Amino acid sequence: MKRGPQILLGVGIALILIGSLDPLEGSVLILLGSGLGALGTHFGRADIPTRKYWLTILILNAVGVGELWQLSAFGGFGGKSGHTWWWGLLLLPYVMGWLMAIGWILAATGRRLRGMVLPRRTSQT
């Protein structure tokens, strides 16, 4: 991967992690981070499954954050808002996109740590 796309992906991951401290207030950071992650994997010419994975994260987060803002504009759901708790199901794309991003970050971190700790096996003929 080239240096520029690596920086995009790294900044995107950092924004997702910072936004995860408060996923409701940090939704803008998570959305921006998933966009940078998708751009970084695209311009870095990552393998096709990784590009599709980050594009899926971006789409899910965009739809979910849009619904989050729309529900907030109309008073939320539950309580005295007049909207039942079922309206909360509209936030599932955001939750799924966020969980997919966190899962990818954890898996990538695990692969990197495993590569530093375990020696590479060489085939002996």
pLDDT of 24-46, one tens digit each?
Answer: 899 999 999 999 999 999 999 88
Ordered alpha helix ranges (H), the chain: 3-19, 27-43, 48-73, 92-117
- pLDDT over 90, % of the chain: 66
pLDDT of residue 123: 67
Q: What is the pLDDT of residue 17?
A: 96
pLDDT at 115 over 90: no
Burial 13-52 (b: 16+ CB within 10 A, else e): bebbbebbeeeeebbebbbbbbbbbbbbbeebebeeebbe
Q: 70-113 pLDDT, tens per residue?
A: 988 888 887 877 888 888 899 999 999 999 999 999 999 998 88
Q: How many CB atoms lie within 10 A of CB 70?
A: 11
* pLDDT band at 125; cut points 50, 70, 90: low
